[in-house]
Structure 1
Amino acid sequence: MKKKYRQTSRNTNYSAYLHPRWWPTWLGIGLMWLVAQLPIRFQWWLGKIAGLATWKLAKSRRHITETNIRLCFPEYNDKQRAALVRNSFIANGIGLMEIGIAWFRNASKLKSITDVHGLEHFNTALEKGRGILLIGGHYSTLDLGGAMATEYIDADVMQRDHNNPLMNAVMTRSRAKRYGKVLAAKDLRGLLRSLKDNHAVWYATDQDYGRKDIVFAPFFGVPAGTITATSRIAERSKCVVMPFSHFRREDKPGYDIYFHPPLEGFPSGDDLQDATRINAVIEQEIRKAPDQYLWMHRRFKTRPNRDDPGFYDKKR
């Protein structure tokens, strides 16, 4: 039976996790650390193997991925969709290896193989003194892309805490070394304080968080439950809203980080219009490297009508 943990608060003191019940987690963390010390090409190879194994064995996740890609890429034929599903698992397997680099290695060592695009947009926006909400997405380079970005900018980050308290402690401590603040996903007050202090905050809106405070905006042409909090945050803080993305190069080890021009006229006063605009921006970035997105997430879990059949029902 899978062990479940109840996360009541963040305890990042490692001395709290010396009991033998934490030893399996420590073993896994130790393995992550060891892999992170390997040459990056070898890590990519290990990630490919891990991704292919997951593609073969994780049938439920593969079904979710196949469903998402079928919905989002109707122009693809069956062969193209199958290839994208497979490549997506490979890309996310590599991303799993890169978490170790982000947590346990000095990201500055990767600057020689990283190109940053549009940094002038960030610097100009920061001069306005209103804070910057960096609109990101769940790309497979999630942790490493963020860690690399902090080599060029100062930023805070919002995170959804890990269910395993020890893993969460390691994740939080590692991110705290790179980001100014590590804010809990629901810490709206902390987010607004950071923006008021003219900080940049990494913020992702591209997952299905349920039916509360959402509108159904198109995402790859499919109505997707999209949170309206982005508009509320921008309205209250008067911050700059800036799209931000990061991708792994396909041909050789290397990374690209993109800071895009701020969204003008945001928020508009129309939640649906704002959500549609945000989704369009994220979709545009995903199309740069479709396999490097987290398609394993049930993005269309919440349907516009409660009685609508679920997309992820295998009997569909």
Structure 2
Amino acid sequence: MGKRINRPSRLSDPRLYPSWLGVGLFWLVGQLPWTVLLAAGRGLGHLAWHLTKKRRHVVQTNIRFCFPELSAEEQETLARRCMVSTGEAILEMAGSFSNHRINLNNRLTINGLEHVRNAQAAGQGVLLLGMHFNSIDVGSRLLSCAFDMNAVYRPNDNLVIDRLINKGRLNYMKGIVKRTDIRHIVRLLRKGDIVWYAPDQDYGTAHAVFVPFFGVPAATITATSRIARMGKAAVIPCAHYRLPGGRYEIEFGPALEDFPSGDDKADTARVNSTIEHYVRKHPEQYLWVHKRFKHQKNGQSPYK
């Protein structure tokens, strides 16, 4: 058995003092003008490319697997752009959570909102098929410009960071739900609510199947079709992109037809294919710093 990790259980635990200091600095940085914030984020991303070798390796591995059609030089360029975009996202989060003076609504373009409205008009709850673009947290603020919504999340192990994220999101969202609380998610959908749910991370092999993502076998949870079936919900793709000049775009796709189909593996493959379609539009903005292919059938992680 592995050694049990004794994590702080109280926000006042002295071991969390450095985290509190970091949150304070995060708040201060968030007060910068938006264009300055993004420029500083790009600088942070360039710095991270040189200093965070392990994370850079994860990005390079993902890009090599998912974009084999690119030359080695093109893959390296895309990997660097991913790190720069992730740096933007970190400081973007600071501004999104802590700078309530800035009006992001006038920086936003929304396409496909009629798909959500049509489902609501039909009396259905809406399960937004979310995607881990690195603009995920400013995206949660921007989505609140269109409607009230709930978001499914995985709690952070650090209590201070978890509080920062939850408080930041709840400034704009109707509610947040732990990803393990399927019953609550289903209740919200049956009430006709909108729930954002992103199944595109590697949560292990429990309740997962191996289906292609960019042509690579990826352990993917099958809960999307199960939640949609129990919640009688329309499943609508939802992507959010960062545009030049500090502008943003949210794109909603048509509700997935004949979903769920009754075949969990086929449904999960379709979910991955749908997400891939939207990621290809702005691949540098996807969260490639995540070990998406960590679990493989042969037990060998490609990141070692």
**Are residues 1:65 and 2:66 paired?**
no
1:263 matches 2:256: yes
Would you say 1:244 and 2:238 are equivalent positions?
yes
1:296 matched to 2:299? The reply is: no
Q: Please tell me whether the aligned partners of residues 5 and 163 of structure 1 are also in contact (alpha carbons under 8 angstroms).
A: no
- SS of the residue corresponding to residue 109 of structure 1 reads coil
With over 3 angstroms needed to count, the CA separation of the structure-2 counterparts of 1:212 and 1:21, relative to structure 1, is: closer
Q: Which residue of 2 aligns with 1:163?
A: 157
**2:41–2:89 contact (8 Å) kept in structure 1:** yes
Alignment RMSD, CA only? 1.7
Looking at structure 1, the residues matched to 210 and 160 of structure 2 have their Cα atoms a distance apart, in angstroms, of 36
Aligned to 2:98: 104
**8 Å Cα contact 1:132-1:195 kept in structure 2:** yes
Supply the distance in 2 between the matched residues of 1:141 and 1:103 (Cα, whole angstroms): 12
CA distance in 2, matches of 1:297, 1:124: 34
Match of 1:11 in 2: none
- Residue 31 (structure 2) aligned to one of 26, 37, 61: 37
Q: Is the alpha carbon distance of 1:121 and 1:108 closer, same or farther for their aligned partners in structure 2, counting shifts above 3 Å?
A: farther
In the alignment, which residue of structure 2 is the partner of 1:224? 218
1:186 positional shift: 1.0
The whole-number CA distance in structure 1 between the counterparts of 2:229 and 2:250 is 27
C-alpha contact 1:5 1:165 (8 A) present in aligned 2: no
In structure 2, the CA distance between the partners of 1:74 and 1:169, relative to structure 1 (3 Å rule), is: same
Partner of 2:272: 279
Please give the per-residue CA displacement for 1:139-195, whole angstroms capped at 9, x wherever unaligned. 010000111111111100111111111221222122222111111121111111111
Q: Shift in Å at residue 223 of structure 1?
A: 1.2
Task: Give the match for residue 6 of structure 1.
Answer: 7
SS in 1 for 2:104: helix
| Deviation of 1:7 (Å) | 7.4
Whether the aligned pair in 1 keeps the contact of 2:8 and 2:15 (CA below 8 Å) is no
Assess if the C-alpha contact under 8 Å between 2:153 and 2:176 holds in 1: yes
Look up the match of 2:169: 175
Query: In structure 2, do the counterparts of structure 1 residues 204 and 114 end up closer, same or farther at CA, with 3 Å as the change threshold?
Result: same
The one-letter code matched in structure 2 to 1:126 is Q
* Amino acid in structure 2 at the alignment position of 1:304: K
User: Structure 2: where are the runs of 5+ without partners?
Assistant: none
Letter in 2 for 1:262: A
Cα distance in 2 between the residues matched to 1:187 and 1:19: 28
Distance of 2:15 and 2:52 partners within structure 1: 26
Shift of 1:21: 4.0
Q: What is the TM-score normalised by the length of structure 2?
A: 0.94
Are 1:51 and 2:45 matched, yes or no? yes
| Identity within the alignment, % | 40
Measured in 1, the distance between the counterparts of 2:76 and 2:303 equals 17
- 1:102-251 alignment to 2 at 5 Å? 102-106=96-100, 109-249=103-243, 251=244
Checking the alignment, whether the CA contact within 8 Å between 2:8 and 2:16 is kept in structure 1 is: no
- Which residues of structure 1 form unaligned runs of 5+? 9-15
Aligned to 1:90: 84
Matches of 1:21 and 1:7, distance apart in 2: 7
Q: Distance in 1 between matches of 2:146 and 2:55?
A: 35
Q: Tell me the alpha carbon deviations over residues 209-261 of structure 1, each in whole angstroms, 9 at most, x when there is no partner.
A: 11111111111111111111111111111111010010101x32100001111
Gap change, CA 1:279 and 1:25, over 3 Å in 2: same
Q: Secondary structure at the match of 1:269?
A: coil
Distance in 2 (alpha carbons) for counterparts of 1:164 and 1:304: 31
1:161 partner letter: P
Deviates more, 1:61-70 or 1:103-112: 103-112
1:111 CA displacement: 1.1
Give the length in aligned residue pairs. Answer: 300
